[in-house]
Structure 1
Amino acid sequence: MATLFIADLHLQTEEPAITAGFLRFLQGEARHADALYILGDLFEAWIGDDDPNPLHREIAYAINALVNAGVPCFFIHGNRDFLIGKRFARECGMTLLAEETVLDLYGRRMLIMHGDTLCTDDTGYLAFRAKVHTPWIQTLFLALPLFIRSRIAAKMRAGSKAANSSKSMTIMDVNPQAVVQMMEKHRVQWLIHGHTHRPDMHPLTANGEPAQRVVLGAWHEQGSMVKVSPEGIELIAFPF
């Protein structure tokens, strides 16, 4: 009996080893779970549910097979794939969740999220995020021809990479005060998130009591998951 959490796979055609590792995970470890939660950045980029990329169909088929095997799958948008919509979710058979979702698992109340909104020191990124999350801008973008959307997305990724290269690691990490405020807002002692690609378990104090922030790793050279069971919470790295 366990619930699994993953994030930051950044799936793309150019990284077949990561895709293969994820497919093996879905057919193996995930099949024994009570549920699977994907906390954003499943894909490196997403320009619309109408994108005919074969990789998207392959992943949708694999997740749907997991759901049909009796393991429900839930998804929180990341900063790379925030445009994943209801159409793709239906293909996968997965449920879209709010960007801040509280779960009650095996007697533990925990908050799950992608984690980018906790990086409050990166004001440039937060301003950009607010802009691209504006509903009318998203509607306008999704109305463009696919080839134009693809070009825009490529330019945005290149710009993001260039901007991040000049930022300090501290700025791109979560702000400790923002973490505490978020946990106190939702009255939780456990927080699980991704985004920063810095897997670890951080003890802290929230709501006047001991608390834990668990950070998922990115799937670059190995897989990363958090396993929550009645016995405890584990951060696990595993080979593809």
Structure 2
Amino acid sequence: MIEIPQHGAAFFASDLHLSEHTPHTLDAFENWLASVSQDDALIFLLGDLFEVWYGDDYSDATSNRVVQAIQSAKSAGAKVYFMHGNRDFLIGETFAEAAGLEILPDPEFLLVKHHVVLITHGDQLCTDDKPYQKFRTQSRDEKWQANFLALPLEKRIETANSIRTESKAHKANSALSIMDANTQTVAESFQGKWPDGYYIGKNDVILHGHTHRCAIHPDLSSKAPTKPESTQGELLKGLRIVLPDWNFDNPEKNRPKGGFLKMLATGEYSLNLFS
């Protein structure tokens, strides 16, 4: 299990969806990353760092700037971790080595003041979305990925864009509730039963992104706020923390433009939102 250095801190961000169409979000990410990068800082990027990833043989101005930003964070003394999201699950070791980050399994665990903290992108908790879960199982298969990455880059771009179009249509025609984490699935995950059927061990705190419903859930029955606000607290058993998505280019009313969670080895945390 990963532990936060005694005199350091861990920082968590998710769902930036960076692309050529998000210049202001990219600027904000670079500034944030530079601001938290120092000795004994652990930085966790929990998926959907990019809007789409066609393979490590593809690069553009956005991905190059992200690589440079992560390299600078590492040079400043920080350790940067990455977890695959539903948009960038094809990021591989070639990109990871170029940027200087470590790819984590999903889920991964932290030990923070006797609390076991489960960190995950969060899409596996949304078990009500059956079509997506079917696609997720298929697209995480090693053979499927190998076949896809063997296609010419132009064909991969065409296919990925088609999948994104279908995904947007699916979301538009689905009830909002099925896009959220399933309460029973969350309860079972706390007890160690992961959605894929494997036993992963009991945990005290679950931290994830993906749903774009930023919230601090002290228990299973608590709802996400209409207007999330920055807050702070201390880790408690049964706590679920949902990270905000980032959108500095077309921000929505009553929603933060982005944000991150800071966690100390003492178990204290602060959710910091950008308005």
Pick the TM interval, shorter chain. Answer: over 0.9
1:160 maps to which of 167, 184, 188:
167
- Say if 2:39 and 2:77, in contact at 8 Å, map to a contact too: no
Name the SS for the 1:90 alignment partner.
helix
1:127 maps to which of 134, 141, 144:
134
Name the SS for the 1:128 alignment partner.
helix
Note if 1:109 corresponds to 2:124: no
- Say if 2:39 and 2:76, in contact at 8 Å, map to a contact too: no
1:176 maps to which of 172, 183, 201:
183
> What is the identity, as a one-letter code, of the residue corresponding to 2:28?
G
How far apart are 1:64 and its partner, in Å? 1.2
Name the SS for the 2:260 alignment partner.
strand
Identity of aligned residues (%): 36
How far apart are 1:29 and its partner, in Å? 2.9
**C-alpha spacing 1:50/1:167, structure 2 compared with 1 (3 Å):** same
- Say if 2:263 and 2:270, in contact at 8 Å, map to a contact too: yes
How far apart are 1:183 and its partner, in Å? 1.7
Q: Which residue of 2 aligns with 1:145?
A: 152
Structure 1 Cα separation of the partners of residues 260 and 203 of structure 2: 21
Q: Which residue of 2 aligns with 1:217?
A: 244
**C-alpha spacing 1:21/1:33, structure 2 compared with 1 (3 Å):** farther
Higher helix share: 1
TM-score, L = length of structure 1: 0.94
Q: Which residue of 2 aligns with 1:118?
A: 125
**C-alpha spacing 1:63/1:215, structure 2 compared with 1 (3 Å):** same
- Say if 2:11 and 2:263, in contact at 8 Å, map to a contact too: yes
Structure 1 regions of 5+ residues with no counterpart?
none
TM-score, L = length of structure 2: 0.82
- Say if 1:60 and 1:91, in contact at 8 Å, map to a contact too: yes
Equivalent residues, number: 236
> What is the identity, as a one-letter code, of the residue corresponding to 2:107?
E
**C-alpha spacing 1:42/1:195, structure 2 compared with 1 (3 Å):** same
**C-alpha spacing 1:37/1:54, structure 2 compared with 1 (3 Å):** same
